[in-house]
């Protein structure tokens, strides 16, 4: 059965390592017959959540920027994929800022069930990703119908393009996309 997959690339670097993993995931998902869309945050304006909680009544944010349209796409997706570089052993600030803005999803209906994380780090230890995974798991815990369906850990990828030296990681992202 074909799924609608939304891939959100949160790297501030166009064509960065985590975005490259996202592209491999998309390639696998498309080959499996899924409908995919990629949104890159590097060219979007996303303001910080004000914590007003108006969205809990209206299911819409009071802030007017690019986040609202992305949240609406998330609401319709069967699967959501977050691609992030890991900085200081945590997800990128761009991803965290965006996740805070997904609060309008909480009180309403949403289609997504499977959440995937594609992460890259300069550090070569797989444990360097634990903070990012824990952060995504915390977000997922607010959506009782969703689950963390998979994680690709692209360790040892510091400079732009370094992920290309890790064919096993690229293959893992591709295979994950193919097996959504």
Q: What digits encode the pLDDT tens for the residues 22-56?
A: 999 999 999 999 999 999 999 999 999 999 999 99
Residues 107, 56 contacting (CB under 8 angstroms): yes
Give the helix, strand, coil percentages of the chain, each rounded to 5.
40, 20, 35
Residues in the chain: 180
Segment 135-140 mean pLDDT? 98
Mean pLDDT of 56-65: 96
Collapsed DSSP state (helix, strand, coil) of residue 108: coil
The residues near 161 (Cβ < 8 Å, ≥ 6 apart) are 17, 20
pLDDT digits (tens, 9 = 90+) for 65-116: 999 999 999 999 999 999 999 999 999 999 999 999 999 999 999 999 999 9
CB-hemisphere CA count at 13 Å for 143? 26
pLDDT band at 18 (very low <50, low <70, confident <90, very high): very high
Q: Which of 164, 180, 169, 102 is nearest to 129 (CA)?
A: 169
Count other C-beta atoms under 10 Å from residue 42's C-beta.
Answer: 14
pLDDT of residue 134: 98
What domain range is 8 assigned to?
A: 4-178
What pTM value is reported for the model? 0.97
- The total domain count for the chain is 1
Check which CATH number belongs to the domain holding 171 and give it. 3.40.50.360
Q: How far is CA 52 from CA 5, 62, 84, 101, 114, in A?
A: 30, 9, 27, 11, 28
Query: Stretch 155-169: mean pLDDT, rounded?
Result: 97
Q: Could you give phi then psi for residue 137, rounded to 5 degrees? A: -60, -40
- 168 band by pLDDT with thresholds 50, 70 and 90: very high
């Amino acid at each position: 059965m074909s799924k609608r997959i939304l891939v959100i690339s949160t790297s501030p670097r166009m064509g960065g390592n985590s975005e490259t993993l996202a592209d491999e995931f998309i390639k696998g998902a498309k080959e499996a017959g899924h409908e995919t869309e990629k949104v890159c945050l590097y060219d979007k304006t996303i303001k910080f959540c004000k914590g007003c909680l108006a969205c809990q009544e209206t299911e819409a944010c009071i802030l007017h920027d690019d986040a609202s349209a992305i949240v609406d796409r998330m609401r319709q997706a069967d699967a959501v994929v977050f691609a992030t570089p890991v900085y200081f052993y945590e997800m990128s600030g761009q991803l965290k800022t965006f996740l805070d803005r997904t609060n309008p999803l909480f009180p309403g209906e949403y289609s997504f069930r499977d959440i995937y994380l594609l992460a890259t780090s300069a550090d070569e230890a797989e444990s360097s990703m634990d903070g990012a995974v824990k952060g995504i798991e915390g977000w997922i815990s607010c959506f009782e119908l969703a689950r963390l369906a998979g994680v690709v850990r692209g360790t040892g990828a510091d400079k732009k393009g370094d992920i290309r030296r890790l064919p096993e990681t690229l293959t893992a992202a591709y295979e994950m996309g193919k097996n959504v």
